[in-house]
Chains A and B, each alone.
Chain A
Amino acid sequence: METDRISIILISEDREDLQMAGMIASVGAVSGNEVTVLVSMNALKFFLKGADDRAPAAGQMGEMLQRKKAPSFKTLFQQAAELGDAKIHPCSMAMDVLGVEWRDLETFMKEPLGLTKFLNDAKGGQVWSF
């Protein structure tokens, strides 16, 4: 099976962005790709333990996703980690700014990651940003 490296940088708090990133992470990971996600900026708060995952919709599609009960983006990231072994990391800078520790995050989140390592690991693969 052909394996690619897929690196996703997630900073948005819009539901549509979070949903699409979760879809790529989950489908990419279960299809045998090495998926790494760096969660930073406005996206990180949704990955705190027990945080509400009803992110604000940017437009009509985001409202429809909620109304039609599409799988939540958080479920998609969890499936990416548990079924496809995706590595989902919080950004160490965003954690410092938010004042949170690794133990405050959902259990499927891996250790905090800095940009240098993320960029080095991403070399030669697909990079997506949301």
Chain B
Amino acid sequence: MMAEKRQIDARGSFCPGPLMELIAGMKAANVGDELEVLSSDKGSAADIPEWVKKVGHEMLSTSEENGIWHITVRKVK
């Protein structure tokens, strides 16, 4: 099965909303899929990589543009 790329638009949501939306997306995703979270919450930009590290998924990138964070994660298990 081909890995998919999906975007989760969590702009306007406060902590821990973006993380929760990512986790709900992770549950529905297949191993190998990439999920990109869009978040306007700066705290989540730091918190999501911490969660990814703890549970053992793969952080692909984090960047910020015009106050919006783009956090991309690969589901590995």
Residue numbers of A with Cβ under 8 A of B are 1-2, 23, 26-27, 30-32, 68-71, 76, 79, 83-84
Instruction: Find out whether the CB atom of B16 lies under 8 angstroms from the CB atom of A23.
Output: yes
Our pick among B13, B14, B16, B56 for the contact of A27 (Cβ within 8 Å) is B16
Q: Is the interface of B mostly helix, strand, loop or mixed?
A: helix
Verify if B8 is at the interface (C-beta below 8 Å from A).
no
Which of A26, A32, A70 interacts with B14 by CB under 8 Å?
A70
B24 touches A83 (CB 8 A): yes
Sample of 7 further A-B pairs with CB below 8 A, known A1-B54, A70-B17: A23-B16, A26-B16, A30-B55, A71-B14, A71-B16, A79-B20, A83-B27
Other-chain residue from B14, B24, B27, B54 in contact with A31 (beta carbon distance below 8 A)? B54
**Per a CB cutoff under 8 Å, which of B13, B15, B23 touches A23?**
B15
